[in-house]
Amino acid sequence: MSINEINNLTNINPIELIRHKTNNNIKFTQVLQQAQKAQEQTNSEPGNTDNDKKKDELMAACRELESIFIHQLISQMRATIPQDGFLTQSSAEKIFQDMLDQEYAKKISHAGGIGLAEMLYKQLSTERS
């Protein structure tokens, strides 16, 4: 079986080839223009500006800080529970308990938390003159 190169193909009309290339070029420019219009529309929609992105990042950082604070609260509250001598915790159980406390803190923070994230956000987002 012989596989010929594209340049060796016969019975190709050069005019048709030029029309095909031109037609593809027109389609490409139309698609490019549509993509540019769609990009402009998404940039002009509210919520997609750089300022809004910065505010979202600030709120995420405030929530993370609140999560860390809540984790410290949970850890300190857990430390006040007296341990009985019958069942001692292994180091793996202690690590698991700490990881579980971290997840509890994240869930509490993202569910509204204790209000620390909102207060931090208000404090840090005010523009100073």
pLDDT of residue 88: 81
Q: What is the pTM of this model?
A: 0.56
Report whether 66 contacts 109 (CB < 8 A): yes
Q: How much is the pLDDT for 69?
A: 92
**Low-confidence residues of the chain: pLDDT under 50:** 128-129
For residue 113 the two structure tokens come to 């938390």
Length, in residues, of the chain: 129
Q: Return the domain boundaries, the chain.
A: 6-44, 50-125
- The predicted pLDDT at position 107 comes to 93
Tokens, residue 59: 């709120």
**From the CB of residue 117, how many other CB atoms can be counted at a distance below 10 Å?**
23
The pLDDT score that the predictor gives to residue 128 is: 46
pLDDT of residue 3: 61
